[in-house]
Structure 1
């Protein structure tokens, strides 16, 4: 049995005319195709059962097993597999009938072999697209149940981008407001890439001071600074072979941007206090919750680093722009936390669902998850009702009397959310607006899962 040759498109040629069979075999072999040729339709059926072909070329009128039967067998194997019918004078009507039941094309004898070669070339190009679309659809389907919940056109587009870009050695920038799922998308990219079996490490560039961020990224040598009692490898080194996710890269100080640029350009760096050059091979996926181009124009972010990290950009929409996904997300989190807290709640009352759907969600999916977790805890019945939802939910702005309806924690969480939304996710500016230091804001956003 003929075995497929890697990287060669494989043709099945079926014709009981020996001279025609040998001529076409020579023509297609000369054009770089792998050809399996047979004079017997019965043998062709056996080939179709065991070998994956890219196109079938078959004579229509043959003894014992006809070209139509070969066509039907090919369609049982793969309904999209192109079958080209060779027909003689007087059998054109039969060829047209074969087209009606799925043949890709037909050619009438006598013919120029180059004309047939052109038909085959077009059939192969069509089948290649079919297979690519199948593969894309299959990989998108695999993303279902991975946490990227939603059936909106926006989310389907994100899933398609993930499966298209994940296998490619290209730097990626994920943009979106706080809570839209940037780290989840980064993890899905890692899981669908050739680095899936290696490390995925994440760091929030906005949560650490400049010196601590430098130490975490680049590592340090013993004695590099007070307290450096032993050598420590940085994330750039530990993530070798895998993926490093730089969240809130928009908050990275300019001094560190220069050092990161060198890593992305050369794959080399020095530990803090070190003199030995270290080489690393990793994929960097970055994320920003604010407009990086705007920061570049203001001189707050290096343009050369921007273009280095932005090989391709994935923009995640805020939850308010894909409200059709809110019900699906709400039920997803309902099932998760009902199981976690061992509560038999499987429904959301219509009024509560309407309240969820109409809410502004400045904290996006992360805020919705937190609300549903709280609702499952608070709900005494078998369905989530409005009484289990935060009183502030759905308020685009804080009503004067709302403070009397909130706990202190709810008020604090609400104001932090508002500050982050008003500053486009700039944590340093949000902390200044709230009158607290950055470290306090970081602790509170972790506490409230913002």
Structure 2
């Protein structure tokens, strides 16, 4: 029989758990203060809590402490309040109940009704705490990369292989696809994980300062150089240097970077000392560097030096079911600080997110969920809270057909194409998603010339 821990905050004087509940596996954990409740939450992570609110509204500091406790824990556990009948007329109490609590009971307590509520609360909190089946997740100190689509499963597999080899890596992908997060995953799983991880955005540093930022400078080497400065390359010695937006590096600096990669030595600006540096370089870009090579914007020899191993991160619009997976992850991770009242997305909001083009990828999705949490006034996020333009640039065009048969054919083709794309051209997985047989899917693919590449 599973033991179900129950935090009981200041409830000893008004309710004691009956024997039948103890026999059913409930384990009351009585605490007298908010601090004790928080310590117990951090130590054992119980799913349900019971709190007496007989003095809420009488002491501003005590009220703040209670609200802070509920705000920090209500995403992971369900709280049930015990309230004297006369306090239900106070707006502060009603607001607290609506914001943070799963349920409440007025005193005196009806044991059977309260135990029923506790059971429901435990079940719902348990459902929220279980990650989706077969959900891929790679956690780092800077967040986690989540995905269940075939394209992301390939990414996770490649990340593990790349991390085990101490070679230069190039990450390619649109803005917001998680290139820096991927770089940090590689770093944390590499033999250099105990060294520093230094991230540099090559596109954010002014051209006249980037050489000094990367290679460092000596005191007096130029106007304003009042002291010696260690550059990012030297800072990363023994660890990993992440060069984001490498395609924005000026041509004249590309020569210096190439020389460092070849010789593994640097010289600070204004100095003469040759300094050996042992660094693994991971670069990233959202540009087509091969096209930049063709037009003379990027050096071919530098490209081949940086791109010993490469990994492409898929855009969110090609990741199918991952949109809902990521949206729910961001909702659970951010609602405690933004709006603990919100519990989920409406079906129409989920449909809108699945059909949206996401030009800003995962970064845009996270920002949209954060905005929705701030604007939402209900327990469920609706489409209007997300403020997504369903006809944004890059979204699927509207059906142009004039007859019903043509329109159906257009929809069939579009839905089939999306299913194949989101499943990495895996016919069996796409057929399962569409709810049809493989033979039927093959017929559709042949009809609409959607043969996988």
Provide TM-score, normalisation by structure 1.
0.56
Is 386-395 or 340-349 further displaced after alignment? 386-395
1:143 aligned partner: 138
Cα displacement string for residues 91-129 of structure 1 (whole angstroms, at most 9, x for unaligned residues):
xxxxxxxxxxxxxxxxxxxxxxxxxxxxxxxxxxxxxxx
Answer yes or no: is the 8 Å Cα contact 2:136–2:146 preserved in 1.
no
* Alpha-carbon distance in structure 1 between the residues aligned to 2:242 and 2:319: 25
How far is the alpha carbon of 1:380 from its aligned partner? 1.0
RMSD: 1.7
* Alpha-carbon distance in structure 1 between the residues aligned to 2:154 and 2:336: 30
Counterparts of 1:299-378 in structure 2, within 5 Å, are 299-378=296-375
How far is the alpha carbon of 1:141 from its aligned partner? 6.9
Cα displacement string for residues 17-47 of structure 1 (whole angstroms, at most 9, x for unaligned residues):
xxxxxxxxxxxxxxxxxxxxxxxxxxxxxxx
CA separation of 1:153 and 1:336: change in aligned 2, threshold 3 A: same
1:93 aligned partner: none
Q: Secondary structure at the match of 1:304?
A: helix
2:205 aligned partner: 208
Out of 180, 184, 192, the position equivalent to 1:183 is 180
Out of 247, 251, 255, the position equivalent to 2:244 is 247
* Alpha-carbon distance in structure 2 between the residues aligned to 1:273 and 1:144: 42
How far is the alpha carbon of 1:340 from its aligned partner? 2.5
Q: Secondary structure at the match of 1:147?
A: strand
Q: Which has the larger radius of gyration?
A: 1
Q: Secondary structure at the match of 1:323?
A: coil
Q: Secondary structure at the match of 1:168?
A: coil
Q: Which has the higher contact order (CA 8 A, sep 6+)?
A: 2
* Alpha-carbon distance in structure 2 between the residues aligned to 1:358 and 1:159: 25
Q: Structure 1 stretches of 5 or more lacking a match?
A: 1-139, 399-450
How far is the alpha carbon of 1:339 from its aligned partner? 2.2
Answer yes or no: is the 8 Å Cα contact 1:358–1:394 preserved in 2.
no
CA separation of 1:333 and 1:142: change in aligned 2, threshold 3 A: closer
1:257 aligned partner: 254
1:172 aligned partner: 169
Answer yes or no: is the 8 Å Cα contact 1:356–1:393 preserved in 2.
no
Counterparts of 1:265-276 in structure 2, within 5 Å, are 265-276=262-273
Answer yes or no: is the 8 Å Cα contact 2:166–2:191 preserved in 1.
no
Q: Secondary structure at the match of 1:286?
A: strand
* Alpha-carbon distance in structure 2 between the residues aligned to 1:382 and 1:394: 27
**1:277 equivalenced with 2:274 (yes/no):** yes
Out of 150, 154, 162, the position equivalent to 1:153 is 150
* Alpha-carbon distance in structure 2 between the residues aligned to 1:369 and 1:179: 10
Answer yes or no: is the 8 Å Cα contact 1:172–1:285 preserved in 2.
yes
Out of 372, 375, 378, the position equivalent to 1:381 is 378
2:192 aligned partner: 195
CA separation of 1:144 and 1:228: change in aligned 2, threshold 3 A: closer
Answer yes or no: is the 8 Å Cα contact 1:217–1:234 preserved in 2.
yes
How far is the alpha carbon of 1:253 from its aligned partner? 0.5
How far is the alpha carbon of 1:144 from its aligned partner? 5.7
Q: Secondary structure at the match of 1:158?
A: helix
Answer yes or no: is the 8 Å Cα contact 2:338–2:370 preserved in 1.
no
* Alpha-carbon distance in structure 1 between the residues aligned to 2:338 and 2:195: 33
How far is the alpha carbon of 1:223 from its aligned partner? 0.6
Q: Structure 2 stretches of 5 or more lacking a match?
A: 1-134, 396-453
Answer yes or no: is the 8 Å Cα contact 1:359–1:396 preserved in 2.
no
* Alpha-carbon distance in structure 2 between the residues aligned to 1:222 and 1:329: 48
Cα displacement string for residues 395-420 of structure 1 (whole angstroms, at most 9, x for unaligned residues):
2379xxxxxxxxxxxxxxxxxxxxxx
How far is the alpha carbon of 1:210 from its aligned partner? 1.4
Answer yes or no: is the 8 Å Cα contact 1:341–1:377 preserved in 2.
yes
Provide TM-score, normalisation by structure 2.
0.55
Answer yes or no: is the 8 Å Cα contact 2:137–2:146 preserved in 1.
no
Counterparts of 1:13-162 in structure 2, within 5 Å, are 143=138, 147-162=144-159
Q: Secondary structure at the match of 1:186?
A: helix
